Amino acid sequence: MYNAKVIELLIASPGDLEAERRFIPNAISKWNADKGERQQCIFIPRMWEFDLPHGGYDPLGPQHLIDSTILARADACIALFWTTLGAPGANGVPNSVHELDVVRNSGRPTYLWTKDSSIPVARTSADRDSVNSFISSARKDGYLTGSFKWRQKLHLLLDHVLDDLATKDLASPQLPPSRVGDRFEVVVTRSGQFGYVSLKNIGDSSVDVSGVSFGVSRGASPELTSDTSPGSIAVNGVWRETLFFPNAVDQTDVSIRFSVDGSAPQVEVVAVRPVVS
């Protein structure tokens, strides 16, 4: 018997990678058997096929159940894509992309892999083009990406990630001083004309954030460098995005538009003094 930390690893992918989804839990079990005691770490793969409670039923839909259970507990995420990003979910975002973004927006490690084998006849090149476009954009956003063609390469990618995660301290990072509202804890930093904003969901349920804007009493307001809305943020999850500052500001009002469980949109405004470095 030995003591070990347990890391829950979300496996996200569309349905075209069924064989790989069957393979990954077996490969993780082999890592646990071969290296778990030496590394004092055990990985648990989390997949909707095996880990949804309540018989997979949620009155708000299956994705809500995944978000509130598997995603909320996951310490890291591996997302795999091949011929398609999958069927669109809420707000038109494919569910696997949504799951990947939720984990990354909360500050947890994320890995994005693509299968580079031939496209089946049933799929169109347009489907694959959408995958390639997403991967290209994800690389620019800082995702750790990789590719595989054969199962041996997938196994090698997985082993490298497990080796890396086993040595990481996955505790929440220390954030600069923040201001707390009723639902969100907000941090704004600035270094020259660039910085970032961080929102932490301090409520008791997941929220869907549709927009974040900034207001100042004098001069130009800070601007997000991306037009992508934050989307779903799990309980205690963190979303971060880069900011551009046209000019220095002493204080900014951060307006956060969000809804809870499909309810009417709400707005929370938190006044924040940027941390300057």
**Among residues 266, 258, 265, 260, which one has the least CA distance to residue 210?**
258
Q: Which pTM was predicted?
A: 0.62
Question: Are 93 and 194 found together in one domain?
Answer: no
The domain total for the chain is 2
Instruction: Output 127 or 56, whichever has higher pLDDT.
Output: 127
Question: Does residue 172 lie within any of the structural domains?
Answer: no
Question: Are 116 and 187 found together in one domain?
Answer: no
pLDDT digits (tens, 9 = 90+) for 56-83: 666 767 777 777 778 778 889 999 999 9
Percent of the chain scoring above 90 in pLDDT: 40
pLDDT digits (tens, 9 = 90+) for 37-54: 999 999 999 998 887 776
Question: Are 19 and 144 found together in one domain?
Answer: yes
* pLDDT at residue number 267: 95
d(CA 45, CA 54): 19
Question: Does residue 269 lie within any of the structural domains?
Answer: yes
User: Across the chain, what does the average pLDDT equal?
Assistant: 85
Question: Does residue 205 lie within any of the structural domains?
Answer: yes
Question: Does residue 173 lie within any of the structural domains?
Answer: no
- CATH number reported for the structural domain that contains residue 13 in this entry: 3.40.50
Q: Is residue 128 pLDDT above 90, yes or no?
A: no
Alpha helices per DSSP H over the chain? 18-39, 48-51, 62-66, 72-73, 95-105, 125-140, 151-166
d(CA 155, CA 99): 22
* pLDDT at residue number 52: 75
Name the band, by pLDDT with cuts 50, 70 and 90, for residue 253: very high
Name the band, by pLDDT with cuts 50, 70 and 90, for residue 175: very low
Domain that holds residue 251: 179-276
